[in-house]
């Protein structure tokens, strides 16, 4: 990628980081149990806040991805087979952290016959064996469009099935070259066909060069397939080797996107510069479901 002048971050993207002892406690627990989080692997800017609140998004199936999206900091490279002990270690972390709402995600594993769906299901079931009342949200890859893989995950009864569109379709060749916009939409639609009562969620980034009308079109596409929850956040470039930031989106535009999404009928919307797929996920879910 050609070097270009680096845009300075605007004032609304400057924030303080937490130095709570709980941040270190969570990092030590993850190290002790040999677990990965997307918080760390994707260089999430909310990491210190979430760890400081004793929450984390667990990333299963290793820390190397079979795809090479230009926005993502997760490593692309050598793969290991799924670790059969990992579901139990995740469940232990959930228990030690006292979580009542858990978010699971993974790298994309196109090398596996089911894309890792059975490992997702095993992890959900193991968490539920600790406490059947724990709510589990899963952020899954597209499983290359496999309905069977999706059914395997849904059979474990996650509270929320999240699959991110990430960006508008025009930018897919540059940002998600191995993904397909329509395939991702179809996956979310298939969840509702399999389980009409299921809660579906998607998210995307802005600042990659999309136009405001394209964002509106994406939101309408999601509502057409009855997607319930949506998250919208600012893209931040992990390194000079990744897709450049085209624009830093002003908070007022995030507010306008939120209002547009709410008018379209999403039951839960999180829109802001530091919003990420799993950021305050429990709060968004409970608010959308009218739960305390």
- 176: which DSSP letter? -
The predicted model gives 106-123 an average pLDDT of: 92
pLDDT of residue 178: 82
Cα 210 to its chain centre, rounded Å, is 20
pLDDT at 209 over 70: yes
Give the three-state DSSP class for 200: strand
pLDDT of residue 3: 42
Domains of the chain: 20-288 (3.20.20.70)
| pLDDT category of residue 219 using cuts at 50, 70 and 90 | very high
Q: Cα Rg for the chain, rounded, in angstroms?
A: 18
Considering only residues 264 and 9, tell me which one the structure prediction assigns the higher pLDDT: 264
pLDDT of residue 101: 94
pLDDT of residue 74: 61
Which residue in 274, 289, 278, 271 sits closest to 102, CA to CA? Answer: 278
The predicted model gives 231-242 an average pLDDT of: 82
Alpha carbons 292 and 288: distance in angstroms, whole number = 10
- 166: which DSSP letter? B
Most confident of 72-76, 109-113, 182-186: 182-186
The predicted model gives 238-260 an average pLDDT of: 89
Phi, psi of 132 (to 5 degrees): -65, -15
The predicted model gives 47-69 an average pLDDT of: 71
pLDDT of residue 17: 56
pLDDT at 57 over 60: yes
Among the listed ranges 55-64, 95-104, 215-224, which one has the minimum average pLDDT value?
55-64
pLDDT at 16 over 70: no
Alpha carbons 39 and 37: distance in angstroms, whole number = 5
pLDDT of residue 1: 41
Instruction: Give me the chain's average pLDDT, please.
Output: 87
Alpha carbons 207 and 119: distance in angstroms, whole number = 34
Phi, psi of 150 (to 5 degrees): -65, -40
Considering only residues 212 and 76, tell me which one the structure prediction assigns the higher pLDDT: 212
Task: For residue 56, count other CB atoms closer than 10 A to its CB.
Answer: 27
- The answer to whether the Cα torsion of 146, 197, 221, 68 is positive or negative is negative
Task: For residue 77, count other CB atoms closer than 10 A to its CB.
Answer: 9
pLDDT of residue 198: 94
Alpha carbons 2 and 36: distance in angstroms, whole number = 32
Helix (H) or strand (E) holding 39: helix 38-41
> Which pTM value belongs to this model?
0.89
| Cα-based torsion angle of the residue sequence 219, 42, 148, 192 in order, rounded to the nearest 10 degrees | -30
Could you read off the pLDDT of 128-172 as tens digits, one per residue?
999 999 999 999 999 999 999 999 999 999 999 999 999 999 999
Name the percent of the chain lying above pLDDT 70. Answer: 83
């Amino acid at each position: 990628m050609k070097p270009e002048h680096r845009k300075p971050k605007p004032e609304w993207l400057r924030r303080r980081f937490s130095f709570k002892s709980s941040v270190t406690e969570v990092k030590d627990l993850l190290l002790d149990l040999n677990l990965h989080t997307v918080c760390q692997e994707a260089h999430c800017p909310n990491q210190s806040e979430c760890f400081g609140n004793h929450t984390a998004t667990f990333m299963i199936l290793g820390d190397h991805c079979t795809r090479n999206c230009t926005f993502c900091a997760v490593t692309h490279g050598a793969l290991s087979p799924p670790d059969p002990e990992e579901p139990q270690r995740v469940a232990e972390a959930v228990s030690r952290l006292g979580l009542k709402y858990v978010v699971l995600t993974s790298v994309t594993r196109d090398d596996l016959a089911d894309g890792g769906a059975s490992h997702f299901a095993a992890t959900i079931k193991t968490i539920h064996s600790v406490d059947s009342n724990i709510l589990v949200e899963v952020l899954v890859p597209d499983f290359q469009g496999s309905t069977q893989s999706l059914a395997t995950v849904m059979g474990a009864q996650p509270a929320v099935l999240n699959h991110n569109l990430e960006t508008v379709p025009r930018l897919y060749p540059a940002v998600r070259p191995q993904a397909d916009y329509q395939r991702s939409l179809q996956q979310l639609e298939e969840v509702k066909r399999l389980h009409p009562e299921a809660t579906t969620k998607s998210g995307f980034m802005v600042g990659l060069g999309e136009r405001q009308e394209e964002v509106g079109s994406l939101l309408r596409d999601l509502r057409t397939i009855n997607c319930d929850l949506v998250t919208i956040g600012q893209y931040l470039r992990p390194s000079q080797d990744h897709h450049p930031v085209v624009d830093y989106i002003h908070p007022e535009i995030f507010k306008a996107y939120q209002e547009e999404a709410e008018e379209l009928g999403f039951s839960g919307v999180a829109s802001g510069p530091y919003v990420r797929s799993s950021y305050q996920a429990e709060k968004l879910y409970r608010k959308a479901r009218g739960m305390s």
